[in-house]
Amino acid sequence: QVQLAEPGGGSVQAGGSLRLSCSVSGFTYSTFCMGWLRQAPGKEREGIATLDSDGITTYADSVKGRFSISKDNAKNTLYLQMSSLKPEDTAMYYCAADARCAKLRWYTPGLALDAWGQGTLVTVSS
């Protein structure tokens, strides 16, 4: 059974940092593309960062230079290091996996992905 679990959300003031983690079980995630998506209040879910099996990363313009995606294969854990947080970063954050990075990065509502986490809430106050 494929499972993704994301502890690590929380509240932080603008300008602060937070690291999200995603524990993976049930599949060899090192062969998949892994990613982070988020859904802000009143907005559609969007892909913000991906990391493929070769270590290549992509980022949405809105987070580029502030967020960093990484993984620890030995721990089967995906991370999202978030810095210089802004109130507009407030959202539910989800980790996800798919054989195709493009589906994560350019996610559209209703698109089926291979695996999802349950989401974790990040709140950034001004």
Per-residue pLDDT of the chain (126 residues), as tens digits, is 567 777 778 899 999 999 999 988 887 767 889 999 999 999 999 999 999 999 999 999 999 999 999 999 888 889 999 999 999 999 999 999 999 999 999 999 999 999 988 899 999 999
Give the pLDDT confidence score for residue 15 in this predicted structure: 97
Residue whose pair of structure tokens reads 């960062």 in the numeric block: 49
* Sign of the dihedral through C-alpha 99, 81, 43, 10: positive
pLDDT of the residue at 96 = 94
pLDDT of residue 4: 73
What residues contact 57, with CB distance under 8 A and at least 6 apart?
49, 50, 51, 68, 69
Residue 103: its H or E element:
helix 101-105
pLDDT of residue 24: 86
